[in-house]
Structure 1
């Protein structure tokens, strides 16, 4: 009796595990796809910013023009890496999770087969009980009913053993897949952000190392030889 109870507890665990995994994998894939859609929107905004900066640079003197063009170039280059990163995440992290719909469906099919085998065993047991009550003297019929019950019981045992073997393989595969899926996602994000730091640092250094004040010499014709006075950047002016 204890063995039967233990087997049924295992079967219930299998069913809960399959249902939860199917739900969680679906939610994880949907979340990754939403993440990629948001990244694509951000990528388009960044490319628009790069385009605006490029257009602005065409209206300025050489040093400011160069700085603006450089920032534009770095932003555009970074978005190429973002696009490649998103494709990688989609292929190696999001798409593999789609397989779990089929995997879990197959396991639920096995669970149903085992349940059908149990129902058959119960019917055969009821049938044997009736024969033993009504026709206990009919040895042929009793033997036939006993054989049918034994066959049904064997089917349940085989279905249970197969299900437990498959769920063990399922749990092992799930852990391997999660390590691969999340590992690829994290590696891709690390690589992208490392490239982002590299490119944005280059743009930042170029911005602060370029002598923008030299452009004023090219604008000398505007104010001629009028005396100049120190100016305060607009960003430093007090609020009204």
Structure 2
């Protein structure tokens, strides 16, 4: 009977082990899956920000345009790293945790077999005790009952050994999975943040080189009237104020009215249809592609145009921007692609 009670304690410990694994590994799976989905949503919002930054950069002057385009390219590159982060979280963290549902179900089935053997042994023991109390003189019946108890105990011992091995193996794999899964989780996060810090450091330094005064001077020149136009306006106003100083009116020359034979019909121009620009409510996010590659493709076209005027640019840099680190500025993404091509 002592062995039976010890098996009851053993069974409760095994059931508690499986219940805890099912509960907490399931909660970890749910939370980390939600974490991965939130990261993917953050990636999508950042992609929208990249598009808006690039569009807004095209509307500004040189300094703002350069810095914001570089920022858009670097931010798109960070989102490529975030995409890799999402994929790694799904494959290395969430996927292994999903398997614990089926694993626990299989172990519970083995535990039911062990519980059935334990109950059969307990039943045979109770049957033997009852027979000894009611018919102590029935030696044949008692001997048969003892044989049945021995068989049930044999099955229970075998089942107990198998179950101990199964639960021990399950516990070992669980501990190894916990160590590996959360180590991978930390590694994935460190890789992303390390790359993001590297890119953002370059981008921050690039943004610091933005010369606001240059763009402001260009803007002032655009909105202010020129001195010649001001003098012309002043002289015109003086003539209107003193009529005696006005010059004589010019003689009007009359031209003959056109006749049907002299009229020439100009070819009709195709009418241009202007479509309204898309608003945020009409924008739809397409399946994600690498924004950094598309932006870098546009930048490569611009680079080809710059290479055609390379001699003029070098002469301009040597005369006006000698020693100025802001003369040529590139995004981290552009520098990365250039270094990879050189390798």
**TM-score normalised over the length of structure 1:** 0.86
| Alignment-derived partner of residue 209 in structure 2 | 209
Shift of 1:53: 0.7
1:202/1:121 CA distance change after superposition, 3 Å: same
**Match for residue 70 of structure 1?**
70
Q: Give the equivalent residue in structure 1 for 2:127.
A: 127
Q: 2: distance between equivalents of 1:201 and 1:134?
A: 89
State the Cα distance separating 1:177 from its structure 2 match. Answer: 0.5
CA distance in 2, matches of 1:92, 1:217: 54
Normalized per residue, the structure richer in helix is 1
- Once the two structures are superposed, residues 33-77 of structure 1 have per-residue CA deviations (whole angstroms, 9 ceiling, x without a partner) of 100111111111111111111110010111110111111111111
Provide the rounded CA distance (Å) in 2 between the counterparts of 1:113 and 1:100: 20
> Cα distance, 1:174 vs. partner?
0.9
- Asked if 1 retains the 8 angstrom alpha-carbon contact of 2:53 and 2:68, the reply is yes
Partner residue, 1:222: 223
Paired with 1:107 and 1:49, the residues of 2 have a C-alpha distance of 49
Separation (CA, whole Å) in 2 of partners of 1:25 and 1:5:
30
Greater CA drift, 97-106 or 22-31? 97-106
Residue 93 of structure 2 is matched in structure 1 by 93
State the 1:21 CA deviation: 0.8
What residue is the counterpart of 1:14 in the other structure? 14
Measured after TM superposition, the shift of residue 83 of structure 1 is 0.8
CA distance in 2, matches of 1:83, 1:215: 35
Larger Rg: 2
Q: Which residue of 1 aligns with 2:79?
A: 79
Contact 2:11–2:115 (Cα < 8 Å) also in 1: no
Gaps of 5+ in 2: 228-343
CA distance in 1, matches of 2:130, 2:2: 26
Tell me the alpha carbon deviations over residues 117-170 of structure 1, each in whole angstroms, 9 at most, x when there is no partner. Answer: 122112222333344455555544433222111110111111122112222111
SS at match of 1:59: coil
Task: Report the TM-score when normalising by structure 2.
Answer: 0.61
Q: Secondary structure at the match of 1:50?
A: helix
Q: Give, in whole Å, the separation in 1 of the partners of 2:148 and 2:167.
A: 28
- Most deviating of 110-119 and 53-62: 110-119
CA shift for structure 1 position 5: 3.9
Cα distance in 1 for partners of 2:103, 2:49 equals 44
CA distance in 2, matches of 1:8, 1:136: 29
Pick which of 101-110 and 61-70 moved more: 101-110
Q: CA RMSD in A?
A: 2.0
Matched, 1:60 2:60: yes
- Cα pair 2:7 2:118 within 8 Å, conserved: no
SS, match of residue 210 in structure 1: coil
Distance 1:5 1:142, change over 3 A: closer
2: distance between equivalents of 1:28 and 1:59? 47
SS of residue paired to 1:92: helix
Deviations along 1:155-205, one digit per CA (max 9) or x if unpaired, are 111112211222211111111101110011100000000111111111111
Runs of 5+ consecutive residues of structure 1 not aligned to the other structure: 227-240
